[in-house]
Structures are given as structure tokens and as C-alpha cells.
Amino acid sequence: MDIVTITEAAALQIKDMMKENEEESAFLRVAIQGGGCSGLSYGMGFAHEVEEGDTQFEQHGINVLVDKDSAAALKGTKIDYKQSLMGGGFTIDNPNAIASCGCGSSFRTAKDAGTPETC
């Protein structure tokens, strides 16, 4: 089982972003970092190299990297892309999150409270 699941809708959006930014050969790096209202924040970006300790897998034609420090907190996470009248955006459903802030981009797990910031 891969650490993170990317839906087809999210994959299509990511591929469009890769094409727009001329990053078709890049990896998608999914990670967590300290910060946000609840202590941890999600991060997604393009990377060109696999780093030591990375887990690498492929979904819907996208090569994904997750670093070893983020893997436990992201295990089982689903990344989707939703369109609405207000526009579109990525949604992240993390079964490890025990608390999150209203914006949905900050969370904490039972094992890692991170470093909360004032919102």
C-alpha cells in the first residue's frame, strides 16, 4: 500500500500544473512541516531528486515522493481535487489527524503536535 492516495481528479490537476510549470519530469513531493494553527502543515511541491530515506511510488502517472519523517503522519492520507462555484482546490483527508483547523491545511496527530502558530 502506498503512503498517500491521489485521486484521479487530483492527478489530472497535478499533471496540468506540471505542464504549466514545465515540470513534467519532476516528482511530486508530499510532506508535513511544523506550523499552522494546529501544529503541522501539509506541503506539496515539485522535486527533481530522490533524497535518502524517501519512499517513492507512482499513481495515475505521477511519481510521488514522501520523506521518512512525514511518512507516519501521512500514512493512509487521500489527496483529492474538488471544483465548486468558488473555484477549485485540493482536499486532504488524513486518518491520522486528531485535530485540524478550519482552513483544513493544519493538523496534529496523536504522536506529533508540531509547533502551532497563532492564526
Question: Among 2-6, 7-11, 44-48, 107-111, whose mean pLDDT is lowest?
Answer: 107-111
Nearest to 39 by CA among 119, 104, 118, 113: 113
Ramachandran area for residue 106 (φ above 0: left; ψ -120 to 50: alpha; else beta): beta
The three cell numbers of residue 2 are: 502506498
Distances (CA, A) of 27 to 9, 23, 86, 94, 100: 18, 8, 29, 21, 27
Question: What digits encode the pLDDT tens for the residues 25-82?
Answer: 999 999 998 766 667 888 999 999 999 999 999 999 999 999 999 999 999 999 999 9
Nearest to 66 by CA among 58, 39, 114: 58
For residue 1, name the pLDDT band (cuts at 50, 70, 90). Answer: confident
The topology (CATH level 3) of 4-109 is Hypothetical Protein Aq_1857; Chain: A; (2.60.300)
At 6 the pLDDT is: 97
Could you state, in order of their start, the residue ranges of all structural domains in the chain?
Answer: 4-109
The Cα–Cα gap between 86 and 97 comes to 26
- Answer yes or no: are the C-beta atoms of 27 and 47 closer than 8 Å: yes
